[in-house]
Structures are given as C-alpha cells and as structure tokens.
Amino acid sequence: IINIVSGPITYSPDILPMVGPHQGVQNYWVAIGFGYGIIHAGGIGKFLSDWIMLGEPPFDLIELDPNRYGKWTTTQYIPVTAIRISYGELGWELYHNRQDSSTLYRALMQAGQEEGIDNFGTYAMNALRLEKGFRAWGAEMNCDTNPLEAGLEYFVKLNKPADFIG
C-alpha cells in the first residue's frame, strides 16, 4: 500500500458503498460510502485484501461495484450510455437511441468476433438471474408472497417490539 486517503464520510447516489477495483486505473481499489464510517465498514479491509491477494472477491458484491455508474462512450459515432451492471452475470447494459440499434448491433458483433460473441435470448439471461438467486417481481414474488416464501428471510426480523410484520 503506497497511500491511504481518509476524509469525510461520503455517500453514493444510491446510498450503497462502493467496493472493488476502479475501472481504468491499474491497482486502484475503492472502499467508500459506508454511511457511518467504521461502524458499517467492519470487515471490508479483510474482504479487499483477500480480493487483491487472491484475484477474486471472497463473495459476490456486484451491487457495490464502483463502476456501476455509467459513462458516455461512442461506438461507430453512436452516442451510448454504458452501465456496468446486469441482472445475471456482470456485463454492460447499453442505452442508445432506438434508430441506432442495428448499426450499433453490427458494430458490436464485428468487434466481438475474436472473443466469440454470439446472440443469446432473454431465457438465457433469466437462467443467469436464477443461478445468482436474484428474485423477480411476478416470478418468485407477487402481492400474495411473503418474504419467507420468496427466500428473503435474511432481510426479515421476526422479533421486533412493534406490530409491523413486513
């Protein structure tokens, strides 16, 4: 470790911390946005050191990826917002004008030939979601499903002093 920078408590736009390698800057790792500082940041140092030393995170924290906020890019001079997040495996979601879809598609397919790019359907994406354990409204959850039935028991505290059952 060459530098440690500490400053005021920061918050990200979605109130979640940012943890992991920062895109575009080699060997620059981020662990910020822990609302109450050391109280909520316990263990993150070990998590990061394991990740840095072993090359893989000890468990999945994709929702805390510091690169989850998009950036503007261009492909074939098409303005695209690229967001590093996905409902299945880590990937890019591209937001662009509808009229540019086929030009963008052709450019991406051509650029990805060496990597073996191929089409896939939404059923494949849904399978990735299920493998990750992500629940979807209308599938695993609906108005008649309680959190325990949806497998979300780790978010529920049953012994509260109030009459609230949610």
Nearest to 59 by CA among 135, 124, 132: 132
Condensed to tens digits (0 to 9), the pLDDT of residues 85-138 reads: 666 667 777 888 899 999 999 999 999 999 999 998 878 878 888 787 788 888
Condensed to tens digits (0 to 9), the pLDDT of residues 135-158 reads: 888 888 888 888 888 888 877 777
Among 7-11, 151-155, 161-165, name the one with the lowest average pLDDT.
7-11
**Structural domain tally of the chain?**
3
**Structure pTM?**
0.45
Residue 35 lies in a domain: yes
The boundaries of the domain holding residue 163 are 135-166
Same domain, 113 and 154: no
pLDDT of residue 104: 92
Residue 96 lies in a domain: yes
Q: What is the separation of C-alpha 37 from the centre of its chain, rounded to a whole number of angstroms?
A: 22
Asked if residues 59 and 92 have their Cβ atoms less than 8 Å apart, the reply is no
Q: What is the side-by-side strand order in the sheet with 71-75?
A: 71-75, 78-83, 93-95
Asked if residues 49 and 66 have their Cβ atoms less than 8 Å apart, the reply is no
pLDDT of residue 34: 76
Residue 102 lies in a domain: yes
Residue 166 lies in a domain: yes
CB atoms within 10 A of CB 28: 10
Per-residue pLDDT at 5 exceeds 70: no
What percent of the chain shows pLDDT beyond 90? 14
Q: How confident is the model at residue 6 (pLDDT cuts 50, 70, 90)?
A: low
Same domain, 75 and 98: yes
Same domain, 79 and 117: yes
Answer with the residue of higher pLDDT: 41 or 139. Answer: 139
What average pLDDT does the chain have? 79
Same domain, 121 and 79: yes
pLDDT of residue 22: 82
Q: How far apart are CA 44 and CA 19, in angstroms?
A: 8
Residue 87 lies in a domain: yes
